[in-house]
Structure 1
Amino acid sequence: MMNLPSLLYYDTEAEYKQHYIDNYCNLCPISTFDGVPVMFYEDQFAHAFYHRTHKSWKAKKDKFSTDRGERMEWIKHTLMNPHIIPKKGYDKEKNCYDNTRRVSFLSEENYLVVIYVNNRGVGKFVTAYLVDNELTAEKIRKSPRWER
């Protein structure tokens, strides 16, 4: 197993955003261990690094998540880790698995990275976070394999 990168500790949300821009957006694409190029875009920052203060999954993400920001360097680590078996993402609205969503799940940490993969095989970073519910984590572990 590869060692996890250290957590990032910044004082402000702006510093986390600048780190994301400098180390992801400006360096993309970053390739997964199996060669899927992944693009990172600045306008995805709020979706990826904010969380909902309201419990409904349909509620707007409205608050910066320090937990997500601190683990930002785990995104590359997770995508590039050859020991992780990519899984199909689950579409809650359609109530089915979706092969355009590729989920990389770092089981030991319950850390998840989601990318959207278009029909040309290019990925777009969607989000990354700690799964805080063991039932959900187990569902992810049992999800079908993602296939090209």
Structure 2
Amino acid sequence: MLRTRPVESRDLDLICEHRQKMFQASGKPREEELAAMDVPFRDWLRPRLEDRSYFGFIVENEGEVIGGIGLMVIDWPPHPSHPQDDRRGYVLNMFVEPDYRGRGVATDLMKAADVEFQRRGIRYAILHATSKGRPLYEHLGWSGTTEMARQY
């Protein structure tokens, strides 16, 4: 039986593991890049879990963790997409174990995120989608934006 629970401080290692697996599944970063990110991400995440500025949900099947999603509320200037709000929701670290994909776990996690953002008064949220994740997000009403990036 599936159970969804809130992310807790004790989930630090689990979230770090999911983040590594999420990036590996995307096929983009090299192993060296993932390894270089590990300690800095862990150091970044720890205080945010403790102060609950990083929140989200974990899905378990009979005590076995099978997926999770991270959420944040980020400071952002008012924008045409949210002209009266100076915050955005941000979805990160969405991961479902391969054996459980295609069973609605990711959909349930995204719906839980929607409810939580609405509970916190967030009316606009963003995420970065892989090509594999994009169909799910589009099905749930998300749309692409004009975001670009540059590395220095």
Normalised to the residue count of structure 2, the TM-score between the two structures is 0.29
Query: Quick check: which has more Rg, 1 or 2?
Result: 2
